[in-house]
Every structure is written in C-alpha cells, then in structure tokens.
Amino acid sequence: MIYTCQRCRFTFERTGAVETCPDCGKDSIRPATDEEIADFKKYAKEFQQPSKSE
C-alpha cells in the first residue's frame, strides 16, 4: 500500500500496517490519494536504474 505523511508530505510504499513516517518519524500517516499514488509511481519509474547486461 502507498502512504503519505501529512506532516512532511513524504510518500512511500509499505506492506502491512505503518505507524510512523520513515522520513520524519511523525505518526501522521494516511493512505495516499489517487493523485499522490500517480506521482509516486511516475517518480519511481524515472529513478529506476536501467539494468546492465554484462
């Protein structure tokens, strides 16, 4: 599931329950909105390293 911290706006993906933000440590976590999920997936795809065939 993808979550967003309401305090620092950090968006992250985790399996299972989450109690605190891995970035700021606050407990203001909520499920991400559809727009936040789309942004998260877009940025994740941009930062993926191409695999090298050697």
3-state secondary structure of 37: helix
**Cβ-count burial of 36 within 10 angstroms (0-12 exposed, 13-18 middle, 19+ buried)?**
middle
Render pLDDT for 17-41 as a digit per residue (tens, 0 to 9). 889 999 999 999 999 999 999 999 9
> What's the CA gap between 5 and 28, in Å, rounded?
6
Q: Over 90: is that where the pLDDT of 50 sits?
A: no
> What's the CA gap between 54 and 50, in Å, rounded?
13
Domain extents in the chain: 2-45
Q: Tell if the pTM clears 0.75, that is, is over it.
A: yes
> What's the CA gap between 18 and 43, in Å, rounded?
22
> Which pLDDT score is estimated for 54?
45
